[in-house]
Amino acid sequence: ETGVTQSPTHLIKTRGQQVTLRCSSQSGHNTVSWYQQALGQGPQFIFQYYREEENGRGNFPPRFSGLQFPNYSSELNVNALELDDSALYLCASSPGQGANYGYTFGSGTRLTVV
Amino acid sequence: GESVGLHLPTLSVQEGDNSIINCAYSNSASDYFIWYKQESGKGPQFIIDIRSNMDKRQGQRVTVLLNKTVKHLSLQIAATQPGDSAVYFCAESRGYQKVTFGIGTKLQVIP
């Protein structure tokens, strides 16, 4: 059984640029949730995808967008990067929409905006 | 590796002692609670969960206590080991929807 894989592990971007982060779900999982974790903080919910549809969104602006593919892998896109977007971006997959199904987290992508 | 524990409350315990990590949650409508462990350079890892119709649940070396009256959760770790050193987050959910994480507590185990 494979876990959740995120790529890249580290990334440096310039303010104003766009970035795409990728997540491969654990086998058998149809739901992906994305979180942003600033240094020294708890993860903050960005959005969740269930069977290719957005299924809930946190308090993040529209320049944060996502996709889920038929194989349940997912992308997080951030446009017009700002310095405050520097954070660890975590992807979690689960076998169902609800938190009670259990989230499996990847190790994250560390994004630095300069 | 990078640290996720900067500026977090820190609990230092002697190896072999019991640890108690406390958490105040914010939403009185939350009905499902989870404790996660996050080691440096890794994503959060599920430890134990509890539903709002329970006040205690035990796992292997861990116990979660829930006090809905004061919106308080605690995680007890028995016989703390060096491998328990990490940042611990409580998290809450309402209707099993999005999981909202708390601030986190850094646990340091002194050998």
Per-residue pLDDT of A4-14, as tens digits, reads 999 999 999 99
Contacts with B42 (C-beta within 8 Å, 6 or more apart), sequence order: A105, A107, A108
pLDDT of the residue at B3: 41
Task: Give me the phi and psi of A92, to 5 degrees please.
Answer: -130, 130
Confidence of residue B54 (pLDDT cuts 50, 70, 90): very high
Task: Supply the mean pLDDT for chain A.
Answer: 95
pLDDT of the residue at A98: 84
Q: What is the distance between the terminal CA atoms of chain B, rounded to a whole angstrom?
A: 21
Q: Are the Cβ atoms of B97 and A108 closer than 8 angstroms? A: no
Confidence check: pLDDT of B1 > 90: no
Give percent of chain B above pLDDT 90.
84
Burial class (CB in 10 A: 0-12, 13-18, 19+), A74: buried
Q: Is the peptide bond before A8 cis (omega within 30 degrees of 0)?
A: yes
Chain B CB within 8 Å of residue A16 CB: no
Helix, strand, coil percent content, chain B, rounded in steps of 5: 5, 50, 45
Chain A CB within 8 Å of residue B30 CB: no
Average pLDDT over every residue of B19-36: 93
